[in-house]
Chain A
């Protein structure tokens, strides 16, 4: 209202002399654009500006803020390849709501078009499969987390990589005593022997081992594998048995003849990130690599993963 009022004030100064001349000469002289036409033209130009403006802003999603975009992100279990994942995810967060350990979080503005899509920061809180039934996959309304998965060992979120062998306690021949991540760490983990249904804070479960093997002990795939070997499959269901081991400590002899223990990642690794979460060194010696996966279509991921961890 105010806008048009001001416009009309401006406009009124223009046509007045023109109409005077028209009267005096008694002929019709073409006057400048009328108030209405002028306002319509301005409105049209504003509308074009609005279109260009809003569309440009929406395309800023192509430029994720680099520091954030390079963060090695895990997607929840069953996530399609990154491109398909981002296009099919409806950004509702139902996967966040069902996760018993609150591992799933939603991306912010910094990740561009990833805004609102789910990710897992394994070091902060890994997926420990304590829901046992891939709840996030079941909750996903679009199949962005593919519904073709049935069992924990079918997932492929990433692949564990022995990243910093120099930091690893096992390599140094050391044991570990105490809370894996210190007294201030808030992360949760499920310990079946303590409570089958409720994960507990990691700090409430101190360890005492002669050679550090926390990554092997805590691995959900290893735990299931061992249960099956003992003839006691999870929920009494043989289908829950992982076909292969995921991680183990091996005695390795280096070229210079030095022997030491070392965690080795096997083909059964699903990249859940529990090893990365529990690793007690300052920086995790073992991390889950996400980028290896993005280059390989999901259907082939299971077939192509090879033994890694040699460094």
Chain B
């Protein structure tokens, strides 16, 4: 429960903090303690890195891009070829006759219209269950067409930033929560679905299905802003859809799980992540346990799973994923004895931690 609250606080913009010793499980403490004894040189990490990227196939990114394109293409062909599989657009649709409604759009409509629309509620429940099972913000990276464009814009941004041609101005992450409240209030006060007017998700989805509109100029502006001024600004700091689905996914069984055991803490995962704060637990001494599920703000995009050279990050469906039995770690100190034996240095560790604070 505590972890869920922490995950929600993080979604709303709370920064992660250093852990007190009693917040870290004994098993995890043991691993951290053990890792202190092993110096990982830069050359080793680079070798590991090269080895991994020689074999890495960006498996999850490929799957995700294909899925995202397939979902949006299904909308397009359903209308253009009139096969009526998936009618409507991302804001509300019908899949083989079943109502589906985007949770954020439905919320905005109900706030603006000030009524609970029963028909819409059916679609809302369907979609809620679907995205709860699939991980909440999974919507963002596996279905939202803006996400894909922004991802391409992001690579361009990184390329330009490396050459000093683009900057990454950051914002406080809590600003997205402020936007969430603002757009909810605006819908109530004005009676218009104000967010829908600037939502690149809706604009793009409709443009794909019903043909281009002038509103695409706004989407282009957003992409340019992200390319030259701030990496992934819309998804990170503005879009309320992310918060809505984030909340849906707090208790989701599908998530990326972090395993501390083999992690080299070199930070490759955080470098590729849209929401790197969810991976702060991969920093040394920041993980509460040996195995921890990543927080609700995670879009389950799988970039970190692809990037991790030590297989420390993996997709997991709670109750379904069978974990391979770990071999007894040969390098691990024997449970109790070693702790007792190394008590003096353990004290050193704790004192140095206190100094860090």
Known contacts A3-B169, A90-B120: A106-B178 contact under CB 8 Å = no
Binds A, one of B104-112, B146-154, B301-309, B346-354: B104-112
> Any chain B CB within 8 A of the CB of A87?
yes
State in angstroms the CA–CA spacing of A115 and B105 once bound together: 14
Distance of A107 Cα from B89 Cα, bound (Å): 15
Binds A, one of B39-47, B48-56, B193-201: B193-201
Residues from chain B with a CB closer than 8 A to the CB of A61 are 192, 194, 197-198
User: Nearest-CB distance from A94 to chain B (Å)?
Assistant: 4
Q: Is B281 an interface residue (CB 8 A)?
A: no
- Whether B214 lies near A58 (C-beta < 8 A) is no
**CB–CB A113/B175 < 8 A:** no
A46 to B213, Cβ gap below 8 A? no
B183 at the interface (CB under 8 A from A): yes
- The answer to whether A142 and B109 have CB atoms under 8 Å apart is yes
Residue of B nearest to A68 (CB): B214
A184 sits at the interface (CB 8 A): no
Interface assignment of B264: CB less than 8 Å from any CB of chain A: no
B202: Cβ under 8 A from any A Cβ: yes
A92 to B88, Cβ gap below 8 A?
yes
In this assembly, does A147 line the interface, its C-beta being within 8 Å of a C-beta of chain B?
A: yes
Q: How far is the CA of A169 from the CA of B166 in the complex (A)?
A: 65
Q: In the complex, A90→B192 CA distance in Å?
A: 11
Q: B171–A46 contact, CB under 8 A?
A: yes
B93-A92 in contact (CB<8A): yes
Interface string of B85-112 (1 = CB under 8 A from A): 0011101111000010110011001001
**Minimal beta-carbon separation of A285 from chain B (angstroms):** 32
Q: Say yes or no: is A167 at the interface (Cβ < 8 Å to chain B).
A: no
Residue ID in chain A nearest B229 by CB atoms: A3
A residues 85-118 touching B (CB-CB < 8 Å): 86-94, 96-98, 105-106, 108-110, 112-113, 115-116
Please determine whether B117 and A3 come into contact, CB atoms closer than 8 angstroms.
no
Residue A141, interface by CB 8 Å: yes
Q: Does B113 sit at the interface, judged by CB under 8 A?
A: yes
Q: How many chain-A residues does the 8 Å CB contact rule pick out?
A: 47
Number of contact residues on B: which range applies? 35 or more
Work out how many contacts link A and B, with CB atoms closer than 8 A: 165
A58 adjacent to B194 (CB under 8 Å): yes
Bound-state Cα–Cα, A93 to B86, Å: 12
- Which residues of chain B come closer than 8 Å to A46, judged between CB atoms? 169-171
Contact between chains at A50 and B210 (CB < 8 Å): no
Residues of B within 8 A of A141 (CB): 88, 92, 94, 99, 101, 119-120, 123
Contacts A44-B172, A110-B214, A115-B215 known; A58 to B112 CB distance under 8 Å? no
B164: Cβ under 8 A from any A Cβ: yes
Q: Are B93 and A83 in contact (CB under 8 A)?
A: no
Question: Is the pair B112, A92 in contact by a Cβ cutoff of 8 Å?
Answer: no
Taking CB atoms, residues of chain A closer than 8 Å to B186 are: 55, 58-59
B23 → A minimal CB distance (Å): 24
B88 partner residues in chain A, CB cutoff 8 A: 92-94, 97, 141
CB-defined interface of A38-51 with B at 8 Å, one 1/0 digit per residue? 00000110110011
The answer to whether the Cβ of A54 comes within 8 Å of any Cβ in the partner chain is: yes
A309 proximal to B (CB < 8 A)? no
Residues B197 and A50 in contact, CB atoms below 8 Å apart: no
Q: Is B197's CB under 8 angstroms from A43's CB?
A: no
A90 touches B109 (CB 8 A): yes
Give the most central of A50, A94, A105, A112: most B CB within 10 Å: A50
A28 interface residue, CB < 8 Å from B? no
Assembled-state Cα–Cα distance A159/B210 (Å) = 28
Kindly provide the distance from the CB of A53 to the nearest chain B CB, expressed in whole angstroms: 10
- Which of B115, B190, B196 contacts A115, CB < 8 Å? B196
B296 on the A face (CB < 8 A): no
With A51-B182, A115-B197 known as contacts, the answer to whether A96 contacts B202 (CB < 8 A) is no
In this complex, what residue of A is CB-closest to B105?
A90
Chain B's nearest CB lies how many Å from the CB of A56?
11
Question: Does A13 lie at the interface of the complex (its beta carbon under 8 Å from any beta carbon of B)?
Answer: no
- Across the interface, do B215 and A109 meet the contact criterion of CB distance under 8 Å? yes
A94 (CB) vs chain B CBs: closest residue? B88
Pull 29 A–B residue pairs with CB atoms less than 8 Å apart, ordered by A. Answer: A2-B164, A3-B167, A4-B170, A43-B170, A55-B179, A55-B182, A55-B186, A58-B183, A58-B194, A59-B186, A61-B192, A62-B190, A84-B113, A89-B109, A90-B105, A90-B193, A92-B89, A92-B93, A93-B206, A97-B79, A109-B213, A109-B217, A113-B190, A115-B197, A115-B203, A141-B99, A141-B101, A141-B120, A143-B119
> Which residues of B does A touch, CB under 8 Å?
78-79, 84, 87-89, 91-94, 99, 101-102, 105-106, 109, 112-115, 117, 119-120, 123, 161, 164, 166-172, 174-175, 178-179, 182-183, 186, 190-198, 202-203, 206, 209-210, 213-215, 217-218, 233, 237-238
